[in-house]
Amino acid sequence: MLKQRIITALLLMAVLLPALFAPVAWPFMALTLAMIAAAGWEWARLNHLPGVPAWGYGAVVAAGAALAWLTGWAGAAPAGLWGVALLLWVLGGAWVLRRGVAGWPALPRALRLAVGLLLLWLAWLAIAEARQRGLNFLLSTFALVWAADIAAYFGGRAFGRRKLAPAISPGKSWAGVYSGMLGVLLLAAAWIAFDRQGLADGPSLYSLLWQRQGLAGLVVSCLFLAALSVVGDLFESLVKRSVGAKDSSALLPGHGGVLDRIDALLPVCPLALALLSA
């Protein structure tokens, strides 16, 4: 399993890095569009839309993203969209998690599919805009999720006794959540120090939050985004558990599916832009 995970990770990096560091944005945009289409296919299957209809759903997700790209929204989307994402993830996420695993399949399938379509589309649009703002901004946003996840893993293993949501994700603990938040704050401080060296292609997420909201706003925003990364992870786990699935698919051998890799990014990317638009 470990060998398989390493090989898959190396192959992903071989595809992602050239697209990420290309002098033009379109290779990265095209790659992420393909990934969000695959995530759409996984979402359809997790919500009882198998076979050809699932592929069609993934194609609709891709078509929506491509249309936004062609119309110039990939980099200049209306700020109101990030407010919509904020409401969906904060209010809708809390409502879904409160209902629990049994509550998700009780919702009409059409509603579940519509929610997935909107969340995936908003996430792709936010990733596209982050890329347009510069690699430093994009990577600092991605790194927030990675730092929260890594710190939560080690903090949870060392101190995790009180479980966060045992019916949804038994491995998560409150200690892991707090550790993840601390990890994000430390990352923000280090990244702001890096930005001051003037080596990047533009300000990071953390520098922009500092400039616009001050120290207190930066801290609150980082804690908020770290918390929402957990919500994204729990939300996907809840959907999988509702159908008895361990992974969203087997597209990435050793890693599961695309949704398994981007679940925490789905809320963080659009909500980072929402905080900067406030």
Is the model's pLDDT at 101 over the cut of 80?
Answer: yes
Instruction: Give the global pTM.
Output: 0.95
- How does pLDDT run across 255-268, given as a tens digit for each residue? 889 999 999 999 99
Is the pLDDT assigned to residue 1 strictly greater than 80? no
More confident residue, 189 or 23: 189
The pLDDT, as a whole number, for residue 244 is: 94
Which of the residue ranges 3-12, 46-55, 74-83, 139-148 would you say has the lowest mean pLDDT? Answer: 3-12
Query: What is the rounded CA–CA span in Å between residue 100 and residue 98?
Result: 5
Q: What is the mean pLDDT of residues 45-73?
A: 95
Sign, CA dihedral 40-45-46-49, equals: positive
Q: Is 269's pLDDT higher than 90?
A: yes
The whole-number pLDDT of residue 12 equals 86
**Where is pLDDT greater, at 3 or 15?**
15
